[in-house]
Chain A
Amino acid sequence: MDIIYDPFRVIGDALRGLLGGFGLPDWAVQLIMIVIGVSVLVVFAMLTMMFLTWLERKLIARIQDRVGPNRVGPLGLLQPVADMVKLFTKEFIIPTNADKVIYYLAPIIFVIPAFMVFAVMPFDRHAIISDLNIGWLYIVAIGSTSTIALLMAGWSSNNKYALLGGMRAVAQFVSYEIPQVLSVVGILLLVGSLRMGAIVEAQNTIWFVLLQPVAFVIFLLSTISEINRTPFDLPEAESEIIAGYHTEYGAIGFALFSLAEFINMFAASALAATIFFGGWQGPILPGWLWFLIKSYAMVFVMIWLRGTLPRLRVDQLMNFAWKVLVPLSLVNLTLAGVGVSVMNYYGWQLSSLPGVLFAFGTFLVFNVIMVLLFLALYRTPKVERRNVVLVKQASKSRPQTPAAASGR
């Protein structure tokens, strides 16, 4: 039974025993275990990415009443393989006036943080590569580095659309980082730790989405923006700026950007599942399966949003971050602080039933207050019509047509 319910520890212990049996010293065993763990994680992330490209195309096709990929393999399941082979064998073109070093580096720097996030992801009770005590902060710090990669890509391409995409990426990511971080701080107050493992364990009795629904909505929206997906994919809005920062990238460069974006999408879904939906905690089924089920449920929500909503305008995007999400998350943080102080004052813990009931009641009231505040204060943006004033053309600038000259 252990092999199903706790496979990571069983396999890990077996490997450790095997390596120890060869007479290797402790540090060598430790090193090999780390290498194996990281390799497994990288392979898992790659396979996830391939599956997600297929899943997204299939689901979007279903939403748009199409069939989607159905030629390569059963149900088109081998489509990602075909795509990858195509992208790997194409020529990697560098624009003549591009800054070559930065042009090469940008996709690589974009991919690395995407993998690094998984280092603190709790896949199961004993399946977390490194349960850092700064867990959430680590994820935020690693995530923020992707901004600079997109700017590098946009700038080094020496293409005005690419540069516009890079600039949009910076403006958007720097803005949406704030509500994303603040919305989780309320939960960190409840947990009393930044460790991802502790966040999951604290949801033993109640999922945090029930205590902090407003924070969850803020987190979901700002995360979708951070990972650059519709309706917030302004940096690569194809109807406005071709493909944004990766306009000039083809072949393997494009493949790396696409890889990182899909891995980011899965990481964001897994984070939402971990922080708000109890991570690997759940009845009957083993922990890793719960983790996957919850993560893929979040993935489905993201694809669903993409299939449903049109893209925002740039000004709407910025207003939404600074005038709606940031104030709302600040109010949420303040109220969460009040709630946690009261709980600490009376010595109520989330692990006991009265504590949970109290927390649920209090935070329900707080969330209702926040929703009412939002409805009362938020004014729906009016459709602004610009007054178009036609300026008389100066007659010198354009040679007069014979018809106009004759005064007809």
Chain B
Amino acid sequence: MIAIKDQRSKMDWIMEFLTFIVFAGMTLTGAVFMVTLHNLVRSVLAMILAFVGVAGLYLVLEAEFLAAIQVLVYVGAVAVLVLFAIMLTQRVSDPNKPTNNAQAWLAFTVSVAMFGILSWVYAPIKWPALPALPTVNNEPVGSVVNLGQQLLGAYAVPFEVASVVLLVALLGAIILARE
């Protein structure tokens, strides 16, 4: 970790570090169980654990809005996903069914390469330790007010384009399901 010289007490730092460890552990455990469990429903539930862990990481970063949206969107979506898994899968639970296929090694290589590249990019950066979250108009940068003003102001076009893309995906899914 980076040396912190500052107004923040050592206690705060330890608490934050512990919280990070807990949530990061939750995310990784969930992710590992998600790909290794043989039972489809259980692995989807492990995915929820990973999502909740990510929401916790957002909280540590003081991005409360993102954390709430993460829980709201993914938990609802995952519930629907579980339903489809139950309805459309022949054998929900089968210990003999392999969880890997021939491309597992390829996927592993790509993942490790990705991890290496990201580490190589991020390792040299000296993350500045801020005494407190910067504020815009008396609100922290990640607050709902500032986020909303950015999304509908400076980033209005990307925001709208993203929603159009989602709409197209939605319509496409309906058309595919109808055929």
Contact = CB atoms under 8 A, between A and B. Distances in A.
On whether the two chains bind one another, the answer is: yes
A326 interface: no
A155 B72 contact: no
A134 B65 contact: yes
A137 B45 contact: no
Contacts, number: 72
Nearest to A143: B72
B68 interface: yes
B24 interface: no
A145 B41 CA distance: 16
B75 interface: yes
Interface string B71-106: 110011011101100100000010000000000000
B69 interface: yes
A148 B83 CA distance: 10
Contact of A148 (B42, B48, B143, B145): B48
Contacts of B145: 193
Interface of A is mostly: helix
Contacts of A174: 76, 79-80
A19 interface: no
Nearest to B93: A99
A140 B143 CA distance: 17
A320 to B, nearest CB: 19
A340 to B, nearest CB: 14
B79 A138 contact: no
Interface of B is mostly: helix
Nearest to B78: A148
Contact of B83 (A102, A133, A140, A167): A167
Interface residue tally of chain B, by bracket?
20 to 34
Interface in B124-173: 139, 143-145
Interface residue tally of chain A, by bracket?
20 to 34
B86 A134 contact: no
B3 interface: no
Given A137-B72, A155-B86, A163-B86, A148 B79 contact: yes
A141 B68 contact: yes
Interface string A141-153: 1101101100110
Given A155-B86, A167-B83, A170-B82, 4 more contacts: A141-B69, A144-B76, A151-B82, A170-B80
27 contacts: A27-B9, A27-B11, A99-B42, A102-B42, A102-B45, A132-B64, A133-B143, A133-B144, A134-B65, A134-B68, A137-B69, A137-B72, A137-B144, A138-B68, A140-B68, A141-B72, A141-B75, A144-B75, A147-B76, A148-B79, A148-B82, A151-B79, A155-B82, A155-B86, A167-B83, A173-B79, A193-B145
Those 3 A-B pairs whose CB atoms lie nearest each other, nearest first: A141-B71, A141-B72, A141-B68
Interface of B: 9, 11, 39, 41-42, 45, 48, 64-65, 67-69, 71-72, 75-76, 78-80, 82-83, 86, 93, 139, 143-145
